[in-house]
Structure 1
Amino acid sequence: MKQTFRRSVFEKVLFVLAWLVLGLAAVGVVVPLLPTTPLVLLASALFARSSPRFDAWLRTTRLYKSYVVPFRETGGMTARKKLTMWGVTAATCAVSFLLVEFVPARVMLAAVVVGMGVALVTKIKTITPEEEARRRA
């Protein structure tokens, strides 16, 4: 009984986080400072763990089709896209870093920039622009 309750609470927390991340991704479509694709990927992963119904819904949205499907179809990102994504994130975090004097927040911002850089280099395959065009065609 306790295990089922814990799982239920955990799924609800993931579900709420998924909506928050998806909201940030939607804002990222308009505001160039937020990296939309990774946020939609994260929201999809959170929905997959918390609500298969909403994960299926998300996959039908224009947001998902515009940002995630091309990434999944090509199996990676061009070096330029990776650098742009990392640069925008680093710049955004740098501004926040300068505005916030709370040391733990600064540490977290630095960790996000470094972590994203490491993930982009080690976890996401780098493809050539020609590969991207060929796989999308």
Structure 2
Amino acid sequence: MREKLRVAAGSVHRLAWQAAGMLALVLGIVGIALPLLPTTPFLLLAAFCFSRGSQRLHDWLLAHPRFGGPIREWREHGAISRAAKIAAGVAMLAAIGAAAAFGAPKRILIVQAVVMVFVALFVFTRPAPP
């Protein structure tokens, strides 16, 4: 009986990891189009979740022609490509510009700018992949 409960609990945990990975993957894909939603951190989270919930999904994500490269570069070198850094910088500027254009209150713009500065410092101080 204990063995059956342990197997059932393991199945539930794997399903939970898979669901979390799918949610992270969907958010990462949505982040491609939305400048305020980052793509790569959600893809990294998806890979982490899939590694615990489904080896098949994990391998698929790492082998994906579009998503696999940034994940492998981060895992192997802690690196962010130059193109990704430029895209991140443009997206951050666009997000602040859009907020200003839509009339966001000054305090919101200041908070957004401060957060973006720290994010930019992190992104632009990462090495480029070899």
Q: Does 1:51 align with 2:54?
A: yes
Count of residues paired in the alignment: 98
- Normalising by structure 1, we get a TM-score of 0.56
> How do 1:1-137 residues align onto structure 2 when only pairs under 5 Å count?
1-76=4-79, 126-127=125-126, 131-132=127-128, 135-136=129-130
- Aligned partners of 1:37 and 1:67 also within 8 Å: yes
Classify 1:57/1:63 alpha carbon distance in 2 versus 1 (closer, same or farther; 3 Å). same
Q: Quote the offset at 1:30 in angstroms.
A: 1.4
Distance 1:59 1:19 in 2: 14
Distance 1:62 1:29 in 2: 15
The CA RMSD measured in Å over matched residues stands at: 3.3
- Percent identity, aligned pairs only? 32
Q: Which runs of 5+ in 1 are unaligned?
A: 96-112
Q: Quote the offset at 1:77 in angstroms.
A: 5.2
Distance 1:30 1:63 in 2: 15
Classify 1:66/1:77 alpha carbon distance in 2 versus 1 (closer, same or farther; 3 Å). closer
Indicate the structure (1 or 2) with the bigger Cα radius of gyration: 2
Q: Which runs of 5+ in 2 are unaligned?
A: 100-114
Q: Quote the offset at 1:20 in angstroms.
A: 1.1
Q: Quote the offset at 1:4 in angstroms.
A: 1.4
Runs (4+) of structure 1 exceeding 4 A deviation are none
- Aligned partners of 2:31 and 2:39 also within 8 Å: yes
Distance 2:76 2:10 in 1: 33
Distance 1:2 1:15 in 2: 20
SS at match of 1:59: helix
